[in-house]
């Protein structure tokens, strides 16, 4: 059975360099036979968090929130593609994730971070580990951090140069790790209901 992986991206900036990494992740997963879909926080444009999805009476949540809740519940795993703002997480992506809670439970998540500098969004990458675990996801130990994104991927999300080759090697291992956990989680949910 093919894994269904949602790839979340959260920059709202007008010149978004990270979108090329999000596109690369989706393309690379699809090439492996995974059913991957990009969830762009800017395109969905949820309001600043007032009410979580679960706080709306049934059938009264905004349509974009309702649709996304169904996609999250139907996914086998998640990848969060994140930049770093002042050693922290992108507010657009954090706002999107905070609208949901139980929908995330009992599925694996992986983190792919980036920056224009050499650290590759390492601070945001680390921060997301704790956030996603608190939200009920199993965060895989593999991670990808892309420094100097402009020298790693072109505008279409195609790897370039030595940095691009390094990304491809790292992403292959990362994707296999996530897919292993996604399959394990799906089989376990078929075998036994989650404890809560």
Q: Where are the domains of the chain?
A: 4-191
Q: Are 109 and 141 in contact (CB under 8 A)?
A: no
> What does the pLDDT look like over 43-89, one tens digit per residue?
999 999 999 999 999 999 999 999 999 999 999 999 999 999 888 99
* Distance of alpha carbon 186 from alpha carbon 196, whole angstroms: 16
Q: What is the pLDDT of residue 72?
A: 98
* Distance of alpha carbon 190 from alpha carbon 88, whole angstroms: 37
- With a cut of 80, say whether residue 1 has pLDDT above it: no
For the domain 4-191, what is the CATH superfamily, name and number? Flavodoxin domain (3.40.50.360)
Q: Are 182 and 75 in contact (CB under 8 A)?
A: no
Instruction: State phi, psi for 153 to the nearest 5 degrees.
Output: -135, 140
Q: What is the pLDDT of residue 193?
A: 86
> What does the pLDDT look like over 124-156, one tens digit per residue?
999 999 999 999 999 999 999 999 999 999 999
């Amino acid at each position: 059975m093919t894994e269904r992986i949602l790839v979340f991206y959260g920059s709202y900036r007008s010149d978004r360099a990270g979108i090329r990494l999000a596109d690369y992740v989706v393309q690379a997963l699809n090439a492996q036979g995974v059913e991957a879909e990009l969830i762009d926080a800017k395109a969905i444009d949820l309001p600043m968090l007032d009410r979580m999805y679960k706080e709306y009476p049934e059938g009264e949540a905004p349509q974009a929130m309702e649709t996304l809740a169904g996609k999250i519940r139907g996914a086998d795993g998640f990848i969060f593609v994140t930049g770093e703002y002042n050693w922290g997480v992108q507010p657009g992506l954090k706002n999107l994730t905070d609208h949901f809670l139980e929908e995330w439970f009992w599925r694996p998540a992986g983190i792919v971070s980036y920056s224009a500098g050499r650290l590759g969004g390492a601070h945001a990458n680390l921060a997301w580990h704790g956030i996603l675990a608190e939200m009920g996801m199993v965060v895989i130990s593999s991670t990808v951090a892309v420094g100097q994104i402009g020298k790693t991927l072109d505008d279409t999300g195609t790897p370039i140069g030595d940095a691009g080759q390094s990304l491809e090697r790292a992403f292959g291992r990362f994707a296999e790790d996530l897919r292993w956990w996604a399959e394990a989680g799906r089989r376990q949910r078929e075998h036994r209901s989650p404890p809560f």
